[in-house]
A and B are shown apart, each in its own frame.
Chain A
Amino acid sequence: MSRDDALSSAPIRVLLAKPGLDGHDRGVKVIARALRDAGMEVIYTGLRQTPEMIAAAALQEDVDILGLSILSGAHLTLVPRIIRLLREQGQEAVPVLVGGIIPADDVPVLLAEGVAQVFGPGTPLPRIVEAVRLLVSRRKQSVTEATTPCPPK
């Protein structure tokens, strides 16, 4: 097996997190299992995480993609903060997905903040699995095409 094969067949690493004061983790656990069954390595942070804890986990675990589950209604506060922290630590390329109870009016706001996709209740699991695969492969593609030098950090 060549090195490139090895790279492309490396399992996708996903961080699933529940930011803020929200004790409902049934949904995120279902997603975690679906992604695992699709061959991915899923790191679940547990409940009541601060944006700082989530950003640190994304950094240390070097994940390909981040999924946030929010049912508390605090998404407009929490999500932009997490995205800002990712940017500050140079991880702006990590796609962010949001799942949970998100009013329709808030979806464009989140997308404008840099969220890649928002999933509401009842989204079929295969659709989420496909979205994760697509976003990660797109990101990897842009890697090989990237020629710009590293910005100083």
Chain B
Amino acid sequence: MPPEMKVPPERLAEEVMRGDHRSAARLITLLERGSAEAEPALNLIRPAIGHAHIIGLTGPPGSGKSTLIGSLIRFWRPNHKLGVLAIDPSSPRSGGALLGDRARLLEIASDSNVFVRSMSARGESGGMAPAAADAVDVLDAMGCDIVLIETVGGGQADVSVAGLAQTVLAVLVPGLGDDLQFLKAGVIEVADVLVVNKSDLPGAEEVAWRLRTAVAPMRGPRPPVLMTVATTGEGVEALAKEIAAHRKRHAPTTVDDSARRAIVRRYLLTLASQRLLADLLAELTEPMLDELSAAVLKRELSASQAARKLLGHWRQAQNEPGG
């Protein structure tokens, strides 16, 4: 089955559910491109979805998310089928991306038990990629019982992963000086486990202490604070146990959990607004944008007025039949 051949969705879905890496990789590409046969295939694999434990990792760049995933892979791979989604930022100027996580999280050869897919954020904010949720479903359907998502690592706004993952890890390190910055923002609210990585460095104990103090006043279950050294594997077994324990405690109640539902709702609206923006951009023409930008520069229109005009054009185009 050469990848360029058009494969009927039924066959593609069947192969994915049989655990075929090639077909899973292909389906993820089709979903990323928004091609027509992707949606039916996604519907067809739906019955096989829902078994994987989805784990998200977020945290500032350089905190060791990739290396930590690598250690977790080494710990889990004898007994689990693992899927990894590694998301890296895209360049705002060229739209291109350098996806380098694979190098750090797979020192050992990947085999049929480890499937790693690198994804560009393709301009999305929130640390995720537009097709991340679809790709997680594909990995789930192909039989991965653990799916790890590595977010961009933008720090404070990197919370979208909570809309997708059942267990969210916030990975911090000593010495960044932004520990408290990180806490003030949204990430702490969505983290289920706090990890102080590179804990062999001076200052690790202090970071852990600060984290414990910060979560002490929180209502509900307080996220535990764990120390790891991802490069040596120290503390990784305890982390894996904590992750499993978190799933046991929370997975059955996820659907009824109103806080969780609110997070999912926010993620859903983020995705919808991105789609809407893509639709809008597809309708707008360069001359129209140039003209309106010039009008703003000449102070003939305020930027807000110009934006309203753009939306007006768009709505008009939407109402025209065949537009």
Within 8 A of A (CB), among B87-122: 90-91, 93-100, 102-104, 106, 109-111, 115-118, 120, 122
When the two chains form their complex, are residues A37 and B94 in contact, meaning their CB atoms are under 8 A apart? yes
Q: How far is the CA of A33 from the CA of B4 in the complex (A)?
A: 27
When the two chains form their complex, are residues A42 and B98 in contact, meaning their CB atoms are under 8 A apart? yes
Query: Number of B residues whose C-beta is below 8 Å from A?
Result: 42
From B24-32, B46-54, B165-173, B186-194, give the one contacting chain A: B24-32
Given contacts A60-B115, A91-B3, contact A43 B94 (CB under 8 A): no
Q: How far is the CA of A46 from the CA of B99 in the complex (A)?
A: 11
Contacts of A90 in B (CB 8 A): 1-3, 22
Q: Whole-angstrom distance from the CB of A132 to the nearest CB of chain B?
A: 12
Given contacts A10-B32, A37-B94, A41-B97, contact A150 B2 (CB under 8 A): yes
In the complex, residue of chain A having the shortest beta-carbon distance to the beta carbon of B96: A36
Within 8 A of A (CB), among B183-225: none
From A1-9, A68-76, A106-114, A119-127, give the one contacting chain B: A1-9
Given contacts A42-B96, A57-B110, A60-B25, contact A140 B2 (CB under 8 A): no
Verify if B298 is at the interface (C-beta below 8 Å from A). Answer: no
Contacts of A38 in B (CB 8 A): 94, 96
Spell out B's residues near A (CB within 8 Å): 1-5, 7, 21-22, 25-26, 28-29, 32-36, 90-91, 93-100, 102-104, 106, 109-111, 115-118, 120, 122, 278, 282
Question: Can you list 19 pairs linking A and B with CB atoms under 8 Å apart?
Answer: A3-B34, A10-B32, A13-B29, A32-B98, A36-B94, A36-B98, A37-B94, A39-B96, A43-B102, A46-B103, A46-B104, A53-B109, A57-B110, A60-B110, A60-B115, A60-B117, A62-B29, A91-B2, A139-B4
Spell out A's residues near B (CB within 8 Å): 1, 3, 6-7, 10-11, 13, 32-33, 35-47, 50, 52-53, 56-57, 59-62, 89-93, 139-140, 142-143, 146, 150-151, 153
